[in-house]
Amino acid sequence: MKRILVTGGAGFIGSHLCERLLSEGNDVICVDNYFTGSKDNIRHLLNNHNFELVRHDVTSPYSAEVDEIYNLACPASPPYYQYNPIKTMKTSIYGAMNTLGLAKRVKAKILQASTSEVYGDPAVHPQVESYWGNVNPIGIRSCYDEGKRVAETLFFDYHRMNKVDIRVMRIFNTYGPRMHPNDGRVVSNFIVQALRGDNITLDGDGSQTRSFCYVDDLIEGMVRLMNTENFIGPVNIGNPSEFTIKQLAEKVISLTNSMSKLITNPLPSDDPRQRQPDISLAFEKLGWKPKISLDEGLKRTIDYFKKDIEC
Ligand code: NAD
Ligand code: UDP
């Protein structure tokens, strides 16, 4: 049994990760300030004696004797990370420093949930890990993008200077059950709008692309990365099947048999035009590739939201 700390464990991805780590017999401490996460996401785990829940903000140090740390604490949806951009930056940077400091003291392995946003509005397509990115340092997405870039820098500096055993994973758009209905990200927005018969809000003409990964595939990649020796990343984890946002909207309408209509909103500034992970490195080093198609993942997510938004 390993003792594992998951920061941001009450969030969408974090709750699935806690579940997976507990199912493997580990002792899990979930730390969260509930900014975008919720106790509801991990309520079903509270009776498990190997699970501990701690209300804590990662901008302050936290201490526990652990073997591994997964650092996920950070709002991931644009409206939420832009709500208080200074706080978002603090969460990324102080959160990384505090968890890295802990990893150094207790000699724990530590994994950073980084993001495809480190590539910004990418000029290289699909995105490979060796690409340094095209990020606006002063725009409305910068608090998130630059915060995550600094966090990666801190991870590599703690590794070089203090021999901390790091893993850095660049997550591409991930979706699935337990996204919050008001989360603001495109998959949950479109599904909730379609199920309610509301207009589907397309930003711009919907020709921008994203590549959507189902959460179970992502968790498998995350755990493999933590458990693989002699490979620290950074590594892209995402589903390389690329769709325009308009295609996503049409798929959601068709899978929900919805009467919803598409409406157009202005495209937010700095919205990346295209995004698709090159996952050759993940396959080579982790033997990982996603298994769940967008259609299958959307069906599972739609089933979840049908129950979730009724109650
Ligand atoms: P989420 O918003 O559901 O989860 C983030 C969790 O962190 C929430 O539970 C939130 O309450 C918590 N949190 C935020 N600030 C905190 C703080 N200061 N102290 C303690 N807890 C705090 O988002 P998610 O989609 O589950 O994302 C998890 C991680 O994965 C994030 O670091 C995100 O940047 C990264 N990521 C996610 C995606 C994606 O598509 N879902 C893509 C790239 C990267
Ligand atoms: N988007 C959209 N309608 C929405 C929410 C998002 O058209 O209701 C677009 C958004 O402008 C972006 C894409 O969908 O081009 C993905 O947005 P999301 O917030 O999910 O993630 P990110 O931009 O961080 O990849």
Catalogue all structural domains in the chain, each as residue range(s) with its CATH number.
3-175+214-237 (3.40.50.720)
Residues 101 and 2: their CA atoms lie apart, in Å, by: 19
Identify the nearest ligand to the CA of 76 by its number. Answer: 1
- Going from the Cα of 185 to the center of ligand 2, the distance in angstroms, rounded, reads 6
Contacts of 10 (CB under 8 A, 6+ apart): 30, 32, 34, 37, 38, 39, 41, 42, 53
Q: Catalogue the long-range contacts made by 20-29 (C-beta closer than 8 Å, 24 or more residues apart).
A: 20/219, 20/223, 21/223, 22/48, 22/50, 22/51, 25/1, 25/50, 26/1, 26/2, 26/50, 27/1, 27/2, 27/3, 28/4, 28/52, 29/3, 29/4, 29/5, 29/54, 29/64, 29/66
Residues 307 and 272: their CA atoms lie apart, in Å, by: 32
Grouping H, G, I as helix, E, B as strand and the rest as coil, residue 193 is helix
- Going from the Cα of 245 to the center of ligand 1, the distance in angstroms, rounded, reads 22
Give the number of the atom of ligand 2 that is nearest the alpha carbon of residue 268.
Answer: 11
Yes or no: say if 76 and 36 are a contact pair by the CB < 8 Å rule.
yes
| CA distance to 53, 124, 175, 214, 293, per residue, from 296 (Å) | 32, 29, 12, 9, 5
- Going from the Cα of 201 to the center of ligand 2, the distance in angstroms, rounded, reads 10
Tell me the pLDDT tens digit for each residue of 25-60. Answer: 999 999 999 999 999 999 999 999 999 999 999 999
Region 255-273: what's the mean pLDDT? 97
Check if 248 has its Cβ closer than 6 Å to any atom of ligand 2.
Answer: no
- pLDDT of 306 reads 96
CB atoms within 10 A of CB 310: 7
Residues 129 and 156: their CA atoms lie apart, in Å, by: 14
Positive or negative CA dihedral for 183, 39, 23, 28? Answer: positive
CA 293 to chain centre: 18
Yes or no: say if 242 and 277 are a contact pair by the CB < 8 Å rule.
no
The preferred substitution site among 115, 172, 200, 245 for testing ligand 2, maximizing ligand atoms within 8 Å of CB, is 245
- pLDDT of 311 reads 44
Q: What is the model's pTM?
A: 0.98
Q: Which residue is closest in CA terms to ligand 2's atom 10?
A: 203
Name the residues annotated as catalytic: 144
Tell me the pLDDT tens digit for each residue of 99-136. Answer: 999 999 999 999 999 999 999 999 999 999 999 999 99
pLDDT confidence bin for 74, thresholds 50/70/90: very high
Is residue 72 pLDDT above 70, yes or no? yes
Identify the nearest ligand to the CA of 188 by its number. Answer: 2
Tell me the pLDDT tens digit for each residue of 168-208. Answer: 999 999 999 999 999 999 999 999 999 999 999 999 999 99
Is residue 250 pLDDT above 90, yes or no? yes
Give the number of the atom of ligand 1 that is nearest the alpha carbon of residue 185.
Answer: 40
Residues 51 and 30: their CA atoms lie apart, in Å, by: 8
Check if 201 has its Cβ closer than 6 Å to any atom of ligand 2.
Answer: yes
Check if 203 has its Cβ closer than 6 Å to any atom of ligand 2.
Answer: yes
Residues 38 and 204: their CA atoms lie apart, in Å, by: 31
Region 212-235: what's the mean pLDDT? 98
Q: Which residue is closest in CA terms to ligand 2's atom 19?
A: 185
Region 220-240: what's the mean pLDDT? 98
- Going from the Cα of 261 to the center of ligand 1, the distance in angstroms, rounded, reads 31
Positive or negative CA dihedral for 294, 244, 115, 240? Answer: positive
Task: Output the CA torsion 177→36→165→86 (10° steps).
Answer: 150
Check if 70 has its Cβ closer than 6 Å to any atom of ligand 1.
Answer: no
Q: What are phi and psi of 241, to 5 degrees?
A: -70, 120
